[in-house]
Amino acid sequence: MNLRDVQKLLDATILTGGELLDRTVETCCGSDLMSDVLAFTKRNTLLCTGLTNLQVVRTADMTDLCAIVVVRGKIPSEEVLEAAAENCLPILSTESTLFDTCGILYKAGIRGCLKKECSYGRK
Amino acid sequence: MAENKSLKLGFDVAGGDFERAGEASAKIKKMLKMIGVPADIVRRIAIGTYEAEMNVIIHAGGGNVAAEAFTDATVITVSDKGPGIPDIEKALQEGYSTAPDHVRQMGFGAGMGLPNMVKCSDEFDIKSVVGEGTTITMRFEHISEDL
Ligand SMILES: Nc1ncnc2c1ncn2[C@@H]1O[C@H](COP(=O)(O)OP(=O)(O)OP(=O)(O)O)[C@@H](O)[C@H]1O
Ligand SMILES: [Mg+2]
């Protein structure tokens, strides 16, 4: 599945990164906790979140996320969208809640990151 | 890069500055990518560095984030002259956090940062003295697990 499919499934608005919708979505994570995103995701994960601050974009940059879906129709500030554009990070916005968003994507076949896939390094 | 030569990059970060929080880690990440460190290793370095940078901003009132990239490994040193950590054992446990509410509202303060640094790095060292500060050193070998 790619971001274009995600956009259709969620009837989402593309806020930035419209040119990057061919990106493949491997796994998904639904969280408002950046601590968990940093610890329990792998590369090319799609993040669904209710948070819209600058730290979400920074966290996405550090963890090589493929895109962010902002739930409940929220729109991040211009500053946050600019930072995302700079980092080639697409941001989509959907009217659905976090629960429904994750449910729709799960039903379409996307799964979460397995814990063993997130255990970094040689430990 | 020639043998035993290294590339160094260091940044002072200000305490409580959440606007710029993560900039040091982002710059270090870009540098490592540029010199050709494998992407999966760069990701681990970036995550470990960012966790340490956030801690300095949240818990220590600012400090320094430095990277030294060798041919075979990168060493990250994050130091501060903050309050120090009274019980390091406890701080290293998942879920232990003294982060204030405004930090939790930003999505941090789950007590996952230090355990995540241990997990991401190949070697981890923490030195902390109450009233003097904290220094974290992480070493990452440049051996990719991506086949
Ligand atoms: N540089 C530091 N100076 C002083 N205290 C620190 C420092 N780093 C960590 N601590 C203490 O150790 C605790 C655990 O740190 P850790 O990074 O694991 O969790 P956190 O920062 O509270 O939450 P999270 O990292 O999940 O956002 C902190 O809550 C704080 O009390
Ligand atoms: Mg932390």
Q: Can you give the pLDDT at residue A107?
A: 97
Domain interval for residue A43: 3-110
Phi, psi of A122 (to 5 degrees): -105, 25
Q: Tell whether A36 is within 8 A of chain B (Cβ).
A: yes
Q: How many domains does chain A have?
A: 1
Cβ-contact B41, A64 below 8 angstroms: no
Asked whether residue A100 is domain-assigned, the answer is yes
A61-106 pLDDT tens trace: 999 999 999 999 999 999 999 999 999 999 999 999 999 999 999 9
Ligand in closest contact with the CA of B99: 1
Where along chain B do its domains lie? Answer: 7-141
Q: How many angstroms is it from B45 CA to the middle of ligand 1? A: 18
* Residue type at position B110: A
Chain A environment of B106 (Cβ under 8 Å): 34, 51, 53, 55
Superfamily of structural domain B7-141: Histidine kinase-like ATPase, C-terminal domain (3.30.565.10)
Write out the two tokens for A105. Answer: 């994507």
CATH number of residue A7's parent domain? 3.40.1390.20
Q: How many angstroms is it from B78 CA to the middle of ligand 1? A: 13
What percentage of residues in chain B have a pLDDT greater than 90? 92
With 80 as the cut, is the pLDDT of residue B3 above it?
no
Note the pTM of the prediction, 2 decimals: 0.94
Distance (Å) from the alpha carbon of B8 to chain A's nearest alpha carbon: 19
For ligand 1, whether the C-beta of B110 sits within 6 Å is: yes
B74-103 pLDDT tens trace: 999 999 999 999 999 999 999 999 999 999
Residue among A115, A109, A56 nearest A87 (CA): A56
Range list of H helices, A11-97 = 34-39, 54-63, 78-86
- Residue B10 has, within 13 A of its CA and on its CB side, a CA count of 10
Give the separation between CA A102 and CA A28, rounded to whole angstroms: 8
Chain B environment of A56 (Cβ under 8 Å): 107
Q: How many angstroms is it from B62 CA to the middle of ligand 2? A: 13
Going by the DSSP 8-state scheme, the letter that residue B21 receives in this structure is: T
> Across the interface, do A62 and B29 touch by the CB < 8 Å criterion?
yes
CB atoms under 10 Å from CB of B22, counted, come to 25
B32-72 pLDDT tens trace: 999 999 999 999 999 999 999 999 999 999 999 999 999 99
